[in-house]
Structure 1
Amino acid sequence: MESDKKKEKIIGGAFLAGVAGASLVFGFGMTLAMAKRKDPSFFTKGLIGSKEAPESGGSLAIRALGWGTLYAVCGFGLFCFGAWKSLGVQNLKEFRQKIGEMLPQIPKKEPQGRTEFKNLRELLNYVIEESEKSKRS
């Protein structure tokens, strides 16, 4: 029973990943085709370096991605190091406790309705029923 649910979730995740990947490839391909159709000469100049633009668009994008990644990782690492040192903690457990004391407590409340559904159809039926109840009230 448990393995059936796990298998169903894996299949559903694989399907969603496949649809997302296909739409990504299709969208990117359509954008490239539209750009090439609009102005073929500039499209070619973007792919291959020339006198006007000594660096191609692809290599420029890769370089920008590399520098952006480096800045993001180093910047966030520096932020985390600064927070760690300013709190004066020695390990992750102390860090978690200090942050927990500083942040406001979120009150836990019991759910008002159902929270577990077997499938999407059951969820949608529940939402429709609740909507109809609120319209009658």
Structure 2
Amino acid sequence: MENSIQKATDAKTENKDNNFKIKAVLFFTSVAGISALIGFSSAVAAAKRHDTKYFNQGIVATSPQMKESGAALAIKALSWGTLYAFTGCGVLFYGIWKLSGAQNFEEFRHKVGKALPRIPKNDPPQSRTEFSGINDLFEYLINEKSVKDK
């Protein structure tokens, strides 16, 4: 009886974890997409505001020598650059994954954790951790450096 209750509880917990992960991925993907859209839009708006005449010439192919407009060339360059970046990073990360020999993410995390140096915990803190402002922080860093240099 207890075993079946434990299995049901484990299944519910796993389902909640999966739902949380899906929601987290959707949230971060939407935030990144919206940020990219806002950044690109603001850059285009700044370019148009800076020089309207040449911006409009780049939107429409005006001379007979130009087969494509500047905007079409820019979109083509952006799409090829995006393809190269995603492909290159994907191949790099997949290669690192395969070289590690890991079967899942948790195993990969442990293997990488063993290979990288350990960062010692600062518990209890050996120095100041609270500062009243950026000037206080810089003064503290300058004083610490001068003490270490002596």
**Please, what TM-score do these two structures have when normalized by structure 1?**
0.56
Whether 1:45 and 2:57 are equivalent positions in the alignment is yes
Amino-acid identity (%)? 36
1:32 pairs with 2:42: no
Count of residues in correspondence between the two structures: 103
Structure 1: distance between partners of 2:138 and 2:82 = 45
Which residue, 112, 116, 127 being the options, matches 2:127? Answer: 112
- Give, in whole Å, the separation in 1 of the partners of 2:86 and 2:138: 45
Cα 1:111/1:44, change in 2 over 3 Å: same
| Aligned pairs for 1:74-93 within 5 A | 74-93=87-106
Q: Secondary structure at the match of 2:133?
A: helix
Structure 1 residues 104 and 75: alpha-carbon distance in aligned structure 2, compared to 1, 3 A threshold = same
Check the 8 A contact 2:47/2:55 in 1, yes or no.
no
RMSD: 3.4
Partner amino acid, structure 1, of 2:102: V
Aligned to 1:59: 72
Q: CA deviation at 1:62?
A: 1.3
What 5-or-longer segments of structure 1 have no aligned partner? 1-20
Q: Which amino acid aligns with 1:98?
A: K
The one-letter code matched in structure 1 to 2:57 is K
Q: Which amino acid aligns with 2:51?
A: A
Shift of 1:124: 4.8
How many angstroms apart in 1 are the aligned matches of 2:97 and 2:107? 10
Unaligned stretches of 5+ residues in structure 2: 1-37
Q: Distance in 2 between matches of 1:129 and 1:72?
A: 42
Correspondence list, 1:125-136, <5 A: 126-127=136-137, 130=140
Quote the residue 1:95 is aligned against.
Answer: 108
Q: Kindly tell me: are residues 60 and 108 of structure 1, through their superposed partners in 2, closer, same or farther at Cα, counting changes over 3 Å?
A: same
Measure how far apart 1:32 and its partner are. Answer: 3.0
Instruction: Name the CA distance, whole Å, in 2 between partners of 1:100 and 1:112.
Output: 27
Query: Is residue 73 from structure 1 mapped to residue 86 from structure 2 by the alignment?
Result: yes
- The Cα of 1:84 is off from its aligned counterpart by 1.2
